[in-house]
Amino acid sequence: MEAASLPAALELAAGGGAGLSPEKRAALGASLPLLQRDYRFERVWFWGCVQGVRGTYYIAEGLGPDRAAPRSRLYSLNCVEWSLLPPATQEMVAQAEKLKGRFQGDPSFKYEYAEVNAEDAERLLEDGKELMIKEEDRLVATIEQIDRAVGIVPRGAFVKTPLGSVRENRNFEGLSLTEAKKLSSYFHFTEPVNLKNKTLLEKADWDPSTDFLDSLEHDIPQGSWTIQLEKGGTVVVLRSLLWLGLTFYHVPMTTQYGYIYFGTGEKNLDLPFML
């Protein structure tokens, strides 16, 4: 969610019981504008926090002119001092998926690689790599997984230019209340996967400038999202059951929307058996 509108946004997304203390809100209000200035980001989003056993990681994302370009991610343990995270690689994500259990809250903590056979272990040692993964790498890989799986935006909030870059849609005035209650009105804000499999008939009524992302209606497993009306029916809230702690909010007929994550960084692998 936008750093500039953080206090109001936290109130809108607080229906699940998660939030920040007044001290943390004040610290973020002071440090995020400085973060934007120092790193010369065009926008800064407060992504949320990952709760560890001994500490909590507070996460911010820096964006450039192209909103679909890879984002710079930073973490803080106190909401004041920020450290830049390395870019997530496919190898990091693959190894993080094998790790189980809570985060420790210590960026230098090292986990042993899980499920590494003797051949892979020998290859890693020959490449000069340790059979360990730092928690810092697991953190950025988990953020990448969550953004890919459940980072969402309303339909029409962003447009794709003829040159391929993605910009905020200045004509976006919010979804109507009827549209806001449909899963098909929300898109994954990441590289589309299912869009390429759509037929020409299905794409007939689409606008290429706005319908260039995958919608939530075909997410697997079915039923991994809940939609609720809160604040007397004035706010639409979506929550992910796959990544517990991810909350998206949108105020219909306005440009107020965003998502935030308050959780342990663990995927709910039991979801298919719970539905």
pLDDT in tens, 50-79: 999 999 999 999 998 888 888 899 999 999
What's residue 201's pLDDT?
57
Structure tokens at 199: 């037929």
Q: What are phi and psi of 98, to 5 degrees?
A: -85, -15
pLDDT confidence tier of residue 130, bands split at 50, 70 and 90: low
- Alpha carbon dihedral 27, 30, 33, 37, in 10-degree steps, equals -110
pLDDT confidence tier of residue 125, bands split at 50, 70 and 90: low
Mean pLDDT of all residues in 90-99: 86
What's residue 116's pLDDT?
46
Smallest Cα–Cα separation from 212: which of 194, 231, 237?
194
Give CA separation, 267 vs 63, 75, 96, 99, 204, in Å: 26, 20, 11, 11, 36
Domain layout of the chain by residue ranges: 3-86, 90-137, 151-257
Mean pLDDT of all residues in 95-100: 85
- Please check the confidence at residue 206 and state whether its pLDDT lies above 70: no
Q: Which of 30-39, 250-259, 265-274 has the lowest mean pLDDT?
A: 265-274
Smallest Cα–Cα separation from 82: which of 20, 118, 31?
31
Q: How far apart are CA 135 and CA 162, in angstroms?
A: 40
pLDDT confidence tier of residue 124, bands split at 50, 70 and 90: low
What is the pTM for the complete model shown? 0.86
Q: How far apart are CA 152 and CA 1, in angstroms?
A: 11
Q: Which of 66-75, 127-136, 148-157, 256-265 has the lowest mean pLDDT?
A: 127-136
